[in-house]
Amino acid sequence: MTTSIDHNEEIKKLRELVKDIDTGMLTTIDEDGTLHSRPMSTNGEIEADGSVWFFIYASSHKVTEVEQHQQVNVSFSAPNKQRYVSMSGTAQLVQDRSKIEELWKPELQAWFPKGLDEPDIALLKVNVQKAEYWDAPSSFVAHTIGLVKAITTGEKASSGENEKINLS
């Protein structure tokens, strides 16, 4: 059984892994049952309950997809740091004005030219239920040393830290 301390530590680790990654790939299920992925800008923040938020237009096709199939995946990648995170859960449209104002950042104006006055502005909340991450040594030297060690000892190279997290 996971304690609340463990749960908080897991979310803290996820926050640390994605804090510097500006874009995640959001995967939804399209009307014909195929997977549909697109890059989405995020603020790199994960809430205490594990939720991730994206600003969207309420009339966008991704909302239609989420209304039909709530299951989604969000993946983050920082190859230069050998850091990868995959989060799965359910998504929902949120049009709560106070939450929109709370999460708003001026740089979002690039996608929402009218800012908070954009009539169709909304949020997509991803309620993360499971996550998995891979976090390996990021420096070229550390990575190379690991490969050389594996070759000389005949042992499998360490791919770094890999953990599965259940947040539900």
Contact (CB, 8 A) for 146 and 157: yes
One-character DSSP codes across 36-65: EEEEEE--S---TTSEEEEEEETTSHHHHH
pLDDT along the chain (168 residues), means of 10: 69 90 94 96 82 96 96 95 95 97 93 96 96 77 51 62 84
User: How high is the pLDDT of residue 142?
Assistant: 47
Q: Which domains does the chain have, with CATH numbers?
A: 4-166 (2.30.110.10)
User: How high is the pLDDT of residue 137?
Assistant: 66
User: How high is the pLDDT of residue 22?
Assistant: 86
- 121 in helix, strand or coil? strand
Model pTM score: 0.82
